[in-house]
Structure 1
Amino acid sequence: MSTEARPPGLLPLLLARARAERVEPITRRLVASIARENAAYDTSRVVPDDDLWRSCFDNVERVLDMLVLAVLPDGRLTSVEDMEYLFDAARATGQRRAEQGLPLDDVLRSFRIGGRLIWEDLVERADPPLDPESFRDLGVWLWASVDKSSAEVARSYRQTEHGLLRADAQRMAALWEGLLSGRAREQAFAQEAARSMDLPADAPLLLLLLRDTTLEDAAEAVSTVMHSHEPRTAWQARSGGDVIGLLVPPDGTDHRSLIAALGELTGLDGGVSGLCRGLAEVDRAFEQARVATEGRGAEAGILSYDQRLVPALLLNSPQIARQLVDHWLGPLLALPGAEGAELLDTLDAWANAGGSTSRAAAQLPCHRNTVLNRLARISALTGHHLADDPPPTGLALALQARALGLG
């Protein structure tokens, strides 16, 4: 770009006249061109007509402002040290289009269309035509101004989009916490959550609580068992690597078959609630899924609350569970290391075998007489007579409570 003095030419006059007289005509052409060449504005209808007009007018005006300020009276083009204030229209456009949800590529395409129309208008009205040097410098500075404006649009758009995404994530997190705490019993809250999650407020649903996974992995795996082209689900990640999912069983699907299919998935660990009747019962479903998850012990996979009712009973009554452990197992837990562990393992194997000393011996493994001797030792220590009969219900509950860490 030349900065050497040259005879005054038409360029300063051309730009000053364009700034004074051509902003509105160029704006009209630009609005019409966007309608023809940038279909996203028409198909999405997210940008009101008056908003589009004002944005085009302001940005055409600002580009011409830059050109006027850049041309010296003698026709030379020079850089402007501080032009930040001239990007206000570009930044405002980027912010509004991000808020409206128009794709950034479509916004930038409109800026390129605007640059082309400004160039065409200036060239058409240069009478007599510009000298080659002025013609070249005008093109260089015009497209530099359009490029700078586009960069400011993109930066403002991305900043706004990032803020909107963060605000939306915070709002969704608050909605989920409200659901899990029972706020959906308020009809207004339930309707808001339903709209935001794109789920019916009153449809039967299941709640999944998964551990050590990601939203993407959970959603992809679960979609394979939903048997629906558009499964109705909603997902939320929580602290500590937990993922929660709400699943609406597809029409005609028995929720029990869906629960069974979830239990067969590999690579996911957690719990699934029983069927609850809409968003108003999500807090109850969450508690069920939590109990099923915590009652898994060392088991892998997704376990159903309906299949874990005994652990659920114990987890919901921890004081009674501890009393059961103390009543049936207290003396064994008080024994020093190896002996206590051996007797507890034998008792656990015998209970799992339904009171069969032969099956317990095979499970341990050891001789059947060894099991009988240990059972006699356990009876002597605890005062509970154990024979070759089904284990007492209280003992079975005490063993399960201990496995759950409740004693």
Structure 2
Amino acid sequence: MVPQQETFSPEVASALRGELTPVAEQTVAAIVVEVPSYAEAFRGPMGRKIEGAVELALGGFLELATGGADASRPVDPAIEGAYVLGRGEARTGRSMDALLSAYRVGARVAWRHLSERAVAAGMSAATLARFAELVFAYIDQLSAASASGHADQLAASGRVRRRHLERLAELLVTGAPPYELHVAAERADWTPPRTLTAVLLPPSGARDAVAVIDARTLQAGEDLPGAEPSTERAVLLVPDAEGFARAALLTSLTGRGAVVGPARPWQDARSSYSRALRALQLGLTPEGETPVDTEVRLAELVLRADGEALTDLRAQVLAPLDDLGPGPREKLLETLRSWLLHHGRREQVAAELFVHPQTVRYRMGQLRDLYGKRLDDPQTVLELTLALGAR
């Protein structure tokens, strides 16, 4: 604690008060030269206001010092002013580095001029040393208050922006009107991309995924519109994930259980989200560690769109095989499927099934016995292709 006694003589105190205005001017001038971030801000009318603020701060310090109070504990107005200054710096986009540099320059300049004046007015060496301690303790306290204000402003503005970004993502997913989307994007300080691609993945993996994809990615909450409790997923909206960028996105999502929708114009992100959600609800699952890419599994999406209809279709068109045993039935089914996909090219069917072409001929003979001329009917061929396409 600082001894509760008068630190300066009346003569020294009077001499120092007389220096406040020129010291404030010299302090601001030095900051303009040594801290480039403030070069423009401190010129003109703003510079004069800053000089007045510096003079008031120094005056407050001298009142504390000459009154015998603990000058290492600035009074509330000074602390509050430094705190507000820190918040203001954060709002203008400047880091604390510039402000702390300004404090250091100000402390050095103020100390040099005030100490010279104090010595000239008769201050003893011991008192001068104590004066130095008080000056720099005062600056440390003000610096800490400004740093606190700066951090609080960044935290507050970060929270506000995150809320705006989450709100924008929700509006996109729910298909809000274009005007509302533009307003929300502007409020969130988010520049719209050409396209957005919806990615659904388990909530536990969303944070890690965001760290390795486009920094402009939006993230909505876990209460997704249209989703059932069993399909709870976090939703990411990834900007401009087309072409090579889509390939990179899929690679970054490897092993995360993700379902990736198509790229859509950013205002139509709901379409991408709906496609990914539908794939999830229809049971499309990753192939190993690879995410579900809905763009390469469109046929499955179409075939699974009405599960009951597909079941009925299979039962109907595969009825001629119902009287066969499981083994023979499965062999004829795989042969029929390959024959349909390869348009009846026997050698290609044989190569895919690893059998002799004569075996293919024999099995197709069996199938023709069961189906008759229906295997030459385009409608039957279409129905069989649909029935066996998702096997």
Calculate the TM-score normalised by the size of structure 2. Answer: 0.68
Q: Helix, strand or coil: the match of 2:213? A: helix
Comparing 347-356 with 139-148, greater Cα deviation is found at 347-356
Structure 1 residues 59-138: aligned runs within 5 Å: 60-62=55-57, 64-71=59-66, 78=70, 83=75, 86-126=78-118, 127-138=120-131
Aligned-pair distance for 1:13? 5.1
Q: 1:235 is aligned with what amino acid?
A: T
Comparing 88-97 with 123-132, greater Cα deviation is found at 123-132
Aligned-pair distance for 1:241? 6.1
Deviations 1:134-158 (A, max 9, x none): 1100001110110121011112211
- Structure 1 unaligned regions, length at least 5: 220-232, 249-257
Q: 1:284 is aligned with what amino acid?
A: S
Q: Helix, strand or coil: the match of 1:125? A: helix
Q: 2:152 is aligned with what amino acid?
A: Q
C-alpha distance 342-215 of structure 1, shift in aligned 2 (>3 A): farther
Give the aligned partner of residue 227 of structure 2.
none
Q: Distance in 1 between matches of 2:131 and 2:320?
A: 96
Q: Is the CA contact (8 Å cut-off) linking 1:263 and 1:301 kept in structure 2?
A: no
Aligned residues: CA RMSD: 5.0
Q: Is the CA contact (8 Å cut-off) linking 1:273 and 1:292 kept in structure 2?
A: no
C-alpha distance 365-316 of structure 1, shift in aligned 2 (>3 A): same
Give the aligned partner of residue 392 of structure 1.
381
Deviations 1:295-352 (A, max 9, x none): 57527367463x544334345555644554565579999xxx9999999777766665
Structure 1 residues 246-257: aligned runs within 5 Å: 246-247=239-240
Q: 1:105 is aligned with what amino acid?
A: D
Give the aligned partner of residue 213 of structure 2.
218
Deviations 1:21-57 (A, max 9, x none): 55544443333333222211346x6x89766655664
Q: Is the CA contact (8 Å cut-off) linking 1:67 and 1:141 kept in structure 2?
A: no
Aligned-pair distance for 1:387? 6.1
C-alpha distance 326-354 of structure 1, shift in aligned 2 (>3 A): same
Give the aligned partner of residue 37 of structure 1.
34
C-alpha distance 10-206 of structure 1, shift in aligned 2 (>3 A): closer
Q: Is the CA contact (8 Å cut-off) linking 1:325 and 1:398 kept in structure 2?
A: yes
Kindly indicate whether residue 246 of structure 2 is the aligned counterpart of residue 262 of structure 1.
yes
C-alpha distance 178-350 of structure 1, shift in aligned 2 (>3 A): same
Q: 2:197 is aligned with what amino acid?
A: L
C-alpha distance 145-339 of structure 1, shift in aligned 2 (>3 A): farther
Give the aligned partner of residue 313 of structure 1.
302
Kindly indicate whether residue 192 of structure 2 is the aligned counterpart of residue 199 of structure 1.
yes
Q: Helix, strand or coil: the match of 1:197? A: coil
Q: Helix, strand or coil: the match of 2:217? A: strand
Q: Is the CA contact (8 Å cut-off) linking 1:357 and 1:388 kept in structure 2?
A: no
Aligned-pair distance for 1:97? 1.1
Q: Distance in 1 between matches of 2:50 and 2:387?
A: 73
Equivalent residue pairs, number: 362
Q: 1:142 is aligned with what amino acid?
A: V
C-alpha distance 197-86 of structure 1, shift in aligned 2 (>3 A): closer
C-alpha distance 31-361 of structure 1, shift in aligned 2 (>3 A): same
C-alpha distance 331-176 of structure 1, shift in aligned 2 (>3 A): farther
1:177 to 165, 170, 175: 170
2:136 to 143, 146, 152: 143
Identity score, percent = 19
Calculate the TM-score normalised by the size of structure 1. Answer: 0.66
Q: Helix, strand or coil: the match of 2:240? A: strand
Structure 1 residues 7-18: aligned runs within 5 Å: 10-11=8-9, 14-15=12-13, 18=16
Q: Distance in 2 between matches of 1:325 and 1:316?
A: 15
Kindly indicate whether residue 150 of structure 2 is the aligned counterpart of residue 157 of structure 1.
yes
Structure 1 residues 304-343: aligned runs within 5 Å: 305=295, 307-314=296-303, 316-317=305-306, 320-321=309-310, 323-324=312-313, 327=316
Give the aligned partner of residue 178 of structure 2.
186
Aligned-pair distance for 1:178? 1.4
Q: Helix, strand or coil: the match of 1:136? A: helix
Q: Distance in 2 between matches of 1:280 and 1:90?
A: 44
Q: Distance in 2 between matches of 1:142 and 1:65?
A: 12
Give the aligned partner of residue 224 of structure 1.
none
C-alpha distance 387-153 of structure 1, shift in aligned 2 (>3 A): same
Aligned-pair distance for 1:242? 5.1
Q: Distance in 2 between matches of 1:302 and 1:51?
A: 58
Q: Is the CA contact (8 Å cut-off) linking 1:207 and 1:289 kept in structure 2?
A: no
- Structure 2 unaligned regions, length at least 5: 223-232, 254-258
C-alpha distance 136-114 of structure 1, shift in aligned 2 (>3 A): same
Deviations 1:273-297 (A, max 9, x none): 25x5x44333234434656787575
